[in-house]
Homo-oligomer: A and B are copies of this chain.
Amino acid sequence: MTRAWSPVETIRRKRDGLALTTEEIENIVRGYVDGRIPDYQMSALLMAIFFRGLDEREMTDLTMAMARSGDMLDFVDDARVVDKHSTGGVGDKTSLVVVPLVAAAGAVVAKMSGRGLGHSGGTIDKLESIPGFRASLGPEEFRRQVAEVGAVIAGQSGNLVPADKLIYALRDVTATVDSVGLIASSVMSKKIAGGARRLVLDVKAGRGAFMTDREAAVELARAMVAIGRKAGLGVVAVVTAMDQPLGRAVGNALEVAEAVRCLRGEGPEDLEELCLVLGSHMLTLAGLAPTPGEARERLSSVLRGGQALERFRRMVSAQGGDGRVADRPEEVLAAAPVRAEVRAERPGWVRSVDALAVGRLAMALGGGRHRKEDEVDLSVGVVLGAKVGERVAPGEVLATVHARTADQAQEAAAELAAAFDISGEPVAPPALVLETVS
């Protein structure tokens, strides 16, 4: 007599520290999506996974079972197609720069992005601050732009990874979000179902990141690289600092303007550096450069030569956006009516700028969402006048708040001042890339 498969037995096995079989994992994911496995068994299993973890084979099985729970997109079988994903940070407008940058160097990027939630922004919100820009593309339109422009950033379409949506919603209300195996499987299932075959991961670590702890971020990076490798992807993960915001602008339209400056080769330094690092891995994975070092030189010259900015303009125009944003962002993008400045009270060096505090402030100003259904004001935000390691004189502008009302601006400015820590001693500029996992 063969015994019927029992979810309780699977929960017990994981609870007792055993590895689940491929079949068990497939049964769990399929059964949960079908509604045959109730929430209460899934949440008990998730908590057991929180405590016992998942090994690389289990994570890969979970990733693939979730990826296969809905549509599996498949792009042209082109070795130049490469994707990029960030775990989310404050002021992270990297995609806006790196996608046209690597496309201008010969790679093809068909990127699906999300909207912001909580203190970290979303690429789609940022792009939508460009008048006319459409993030929602039909499959044919999407394909055509990939072929013609080699660069597209669109919202997620189709029924991608319903298992992840269901499981994530359950994790959120059962305190089982913070599990490396579950996070890694969730991210990778979405990338794999979205058709990614070559992928560069930007895993943020620090105050403004999902993983505040560097070791945890490295563990997550290793887990995702292991899953990618086992699933047959080309994959590199870069663990990068997210203690202070990336670049100087935080807020949707403000970040687009900064991305345009960066595409013109005008920095800010950390943003450009990160785009070159991530882009060089992307170019190498796409087979367009023999090493990241050579890829970087090529990207650097593409950036200085204006081809990256040009590709950005073409991408934006192809999606209905006002291409003049590439020339005069300040004229094209909506500006907030009120500004307030935070100034240094005493001389010194910036020791830290709390990315989480800045991200929360930008959200509180109306630039982000507490809940999925919230409306976003694309014009508001914060622009930093000083970053970690920079010297400031008394009265110098530390940051500027862009707000809807004077009251909001004043209140935000007062809170923003507390996000800065000024030292009497010189402070070394912090490292941006903490670790590379491949």
Contacts and interface: CB of A to CB of B under 8 A. Distances in A.
For the residues of A in contact with B, the DSSP-based class is helix
A223 B234 CA distance: 54
A50 B47 CA distance: 10
A42 B40 CA distance: 8
A15 interface: yes
A41 B173 contact: yes
Contacts of A40: 38-40, 42-43, 170, 173-174
A28 to B, nearest CB: 13
Contacts of A175: 8-9, 11-12, 15, 44, 48
Given A40-B39, A43-B44, A8 B173 contact: yes
Interface of A: 8-9, 11-12, 15, 38-44, 46-48, 50-51, 170, 172-176
A174 B44 contact: yes
Given A8-B175, A15-B50, A40-B173, 14 more contacts: A8-B172, A8-B173, A11-B47, A38-B40, A39-B39, A40-B42, A40-B170, A40-B174, A41-B174, A44-B44, A44-B47, A44-B175, A47-B47, A47-B48
Contacts of A38: 39-40
A237 to B, nearest CB: 27
B173 A15 contact: no
A8 B174 contact: yes
19 contacts: A8-B174, A8-B175, A9-B175, A11-B175, A12-B175, A39-B39, A39-B40, A40-B42, A40-B43, A40-B173, A40-B174, A41-B173, A43-B43, A43-B47, A44-B46, A44-B175, A47-B47, A47-B48, A47-B51
Contacts of A11: 47, 174-175
- Residue among A38, A41, A44 facing the most chain B CB atoms (10 A cut-off): A44
A170 B11 CA distance: 13
A17 to B, nearest CB: 11
Contacts of A46: 44
A172 to B, nearest CB: 8
A46 B8 CA distance: 14
Contacts of A39: 38-40
Nearest to A47: B47
Contacts of A170: 40
A428 to B, nearest CB: 34
A11 B46 CA distance: 13
Contact of A15 (B12, B15, B42, B47): B47
A192 to B, nearest CB: 27
A40 B176 CA distance: 12
A12 B173 CA distance: 10
A277 B430 CA distance: 72
Please name the 7 residue pairs, one residue from A and one from B, whose CB atoms are nearest each other, closest first.
Answer: A47-B47, A44-B174, A39-B40, A12-B175, A11-B175, A40-B43, A43-B44
Contacts of A174: 8, 11, 40-41, 44
A47 B48 CA distance: 7
Contacts of A41: 43, 173-174
A11 B40 CA distance: 14
A41 B44 CA distance: 9
A11 B173 CA distance: 9
A78 to B, nearest CB: 43
Nearest to A172: B8
A59 B40 CA distance: 23
A9 B174 CA distance: 9
A20 B185 CA distance: 31
Contacts of A42: 40
Contacts of A8: 172-175
Contacts of A51: 47, 51
A42 B175 CA distance: 11
